[in-house]
Amino acid sequence: MNRTAQRKIAQGLYVAVSLCVGLWIGTRPHLGLGIKMAMAFVLLIPGRINSFLYRDLYTSLRAFNREDHDGAHVAATRFVDDLRRHPWKQRVRLGWSGIYSNDLASLGFNNIGAADLHCGRAEAAERALRTSIEHDPLNPLPYFNLAVLESLRDAPDKSDEFRRRAFELGYSGSTGDAIVQQVHAIYARLEGRKAA
């Protein structure tokens, strides 16, 4: 089982357990309102900190989901530049684990490459996607995007090679991947600013 499949299972279990705990807490009349609010506060704090630290990553996703590819590029570039200036942000993980990668620079460069791909900047897209792979060779997303790029270049052998690698690493475009993308899109709408 690849890393992505393990993380999909772990995230699913995390969501299920969180819902069960939330329902259990909510149905316990003997727990006072103060205790319920304190527990909710503790569960929500990590997400608030992450949304503050990684706002430009969410802004990039939000812009991408609205098909504002130039805005997605600007926000993802700003995010990667911020990680370069503040490398400690790469290590902060308050209850957050990426499904496809925990390397934030890899995710940022993948977003830059995907935005470049949609804007027709093939060479820039390839550079960004290869940089994403350098940061995390087990992240399947840049391989999938390189498969799309090679398909557009009418290089089916290379496209198939990258598509196979993405599949081996856990990205197939399946229903599970579609659900992950929808969850990311919802979170990006909540946490991302409008692209500048």
pLDDT in tens, 54-67: 889 888 988 888 89
- The token pair that represents 38 in the structure block: 């304190």
Cβ-count burial of 41 within 10 angstroms (0-12 exposed, 13-18 middle, 19+ buried)?
exposed
Q: How confident is the model at residue 172 (pLDDT cuts 50, 70, 90)?
A: confident
Confidence check: pLDDT of 160 > 70: yes
Q: Please state the rounded mean pLDDT for residues 126-139.
A: 97
Extents of the domains making up the chain? 3-191
pLDDT in tens, 76-104: 999 999 999 999 988 776 555 677 888 99
pLDDT of residue 58: 85
C-alpha to C-alpha distance for 93 and 101, rounded to whole angstroms: 12
Q: Are 195 and 68 in contact (CB under 8 A)?
A: yes
Confidence check: pLDDT of 148 > 70: yes
C-alpha to C-alpha distance for 48 and 30, rounded to whole angstroms: 28
Q: Is the pTM of this model over 0.85?
A: no
Domain 3-191 listed as CATH 3.40.50.720: no
